[in-house]
Amino acid sequence: MPKEKKEEFTFTDLPGIGTTTASKLEDAGCSDLMSIAVMNPADLSTLADISETIARKAINAARKMLKLEFEDATQYLKKRKEVLKISTGSINFNNLLGGGIETRAITEAFGAFGSGKSQLAHQLAVNVQLPVERGGANAKVVWIDSEGTFRPERIQQIAEGLGLDFQKTLKNIFVARAFNSDHQILLVDKVKDLIKRGEPIKLVIVDSITSHFRAEFTGRGQLADRQQRINKHLHNLMRLAESSNIAIYITNQVMSDPAQMFGDPTKAIGGHIIGHASTYRIYLRKGKKDARVAKMIDSPNLPDSECVFFITEQGIVDE
């Protein structure tokens, strides 16, 4: 397994920034070094109550730590080569995805109840454990469950279908039930702790990403706040994906709001925010009999197209 270690810096790693100034920055809504790196010295000086000279030094240091200079494109190619692709179990579906669910990316599946979003999550949780030649990453998985739909019995069926030891397979899945949106956000930080402990995690599942936010932020007046918090949550996940070469798989419901009757019935909750933050978006729907149809939407490097797969007792297959 490729060993990766990328340092995570905090405010106090910056010259001239102590714990008091750091907490002022947090109170002012700065969440990470990036928010400092993109500021101008005058603004940071006012915000953190420090001199402009110190502010300038801190900003420059943040820019260095985040490596905000240009890289030549070969560096990009090198990063792309480290990307692992986790098999869905279906060749057609893998082809649609350009090989499988990618590391260093967020893949979002959205669709109606029963369309197969959680089934795909179960399959990926097993497949990521396979050796690379079999479409895995020889790794472990974190499952953040906000809907209570993780089923060990289902893992058993899929694992045994692949000839894997069920108990061993279960041991490689770290599951946490997220009780509310704050808890869900916190759990992403806990993933970083697992990685620091040396757990070889290559997949993080959030099933579903939106349900708590949707239940908690109900009023019209809360919409902006909700979107902002989802946005921050997604960026946190993306940083995790990039810093540790991890695949993020998130699920999202579609709206079944009567007010949306004349709108697009395939509209995902969270709208633009999630759409912009996801690298790949797949729309899932039921087809004829047990068939499922997956449609790739707005990929940065793949054509928008569809494929058919099936959900069976042994998991996801082509036919």
Q: How far is CA 157 from CA 20, 154, 175, 308, 316, in A?
A: 53, 5, 18, 22, 11
Q: Which of 45, 88, 90, 119 binds ligand ADP (CB under 6 A)?
A: 119
Residue 30 tokens read as 């700065």
| 116 near ligand ADP (CB under 6 A) | yes
Least distance between ligand ADP and beta carbon 121 (Å): 7
| 318 near ligand ADP (CB under 6 A) | no
- Between strands 291-297 and 280-286, the pairing is antiparallel
Residue 185: alpha-carbon gap to chain centroid: 12
Q: Taking CB under 6 A as the criterion, which residues in 154-173 touch ligand ADP?
A: 157
Cα–Cα dist 238/243, whole Å: 9
| 111 near ligand ADP (CB under 6 A) | yes
Neighbour tally for 299: CB within 10 Å: 18
Q: Which of 141, 155, 250, 311 binds ligand ADP (CB under 6 A)?
A: 311
| 245 near ligand ADP (CB under 6 A) | no
Least distance between ligand ADP and beta carbon 116 (Å): 4
Q: What is the contact surface with Mg ion in residues (CB under 5 A)?
A: 117-118, 149
Q: How far is CA 172 from CA 125, 129, 165, 188, 251, in A?
A: 9, 8, 11, 17, 21
Q: Which of 114, 152, 263, 271 binds ligand ADP (CB under 6 A)?
A: 114
Q: Which is nearer to ligand ADP, 116 or 136 (CB)?
A: 116
Coil/strand/helix, residue 99: coil
The one of Mg ion, ligand ADP, none whose footprint includes residue 8, by CB under 5 to 8 A per kind, is none
Least distance between ligand ADP and beta carbon 270 (Å): 16
- Residue, CB closest to Mg ion: 118
